[in-house]
Structure 1
Amino acid sequence: MIVSALGGPWDSLFGGGNLPAFVVGAVAAVISAILAIVLLPNPKPEDMAKASVGGGFH
């Protein structure tokens, strides 16, 4: 949301075009992915054993 809200002023700051907002969005995506990998807890082995492997919708 921050990237989309600040994209217009950010683009005009660098002379127009969409490239600055795309770069800021890419950096934000990389930071979010790293934080998700580092901060989210790993499931316990007994929780993984309880998870259903297949199934379908009826």
Structure 2
Amino acid sequence: MFVSTLSGPWDALFGGGNLPAFVVGAVAAVISAILAMVMLPSVKPDDESKVKLGGSFH
């Protein structure tokens, strides 16, 4: 949301191309991925046995 809101002014500030918004979007995606890997809780070995993989059709 931050990138899409400010992409117009950033593009105008850096010469009118779309590259600044793409770079900021890529940086935001990398930061989001790193935060997701660091901050989300990991599954404990005891909880792994409770998870049912696969599904069924009704």
Separation of aligned partners in 2, 1:46 and 1:19: 47
Separation of aligned partners in 1, 2:52 and 2:14: 51
Q: What TM-score results when the alignment is normalised by the length of structure 2?
A: 0.92
Percent identity over the alignment is: 74
Alignment of 1:1-58 (within 5 A): 1-58=1-58
* Stretches of structure 2 lacking an aligned partner (at least 5 in a row): none
State the 1:57 CA deviation: 2.8
Instruction: Give the length in aligned residue pairs.
Output: 58
Residue identity matched to 1:6:
L
State the 1:42 CA deviation: 0.5
When the two chains are superposed, the root-mean-square deviation of aligned CA atoms in Å is 0.9
Q: Which stretches of structure 1, 4 residues or longer, exceed 6 Å deviation after superposition? A: none
Separation of aligned partners in 1, 2:2 and 2:56: 38
Separation of aligned partners in 1, 2:18 and 2:26: 12
* Stretches of structure 1 lacking an aligned partner (at least 5 in a row): none
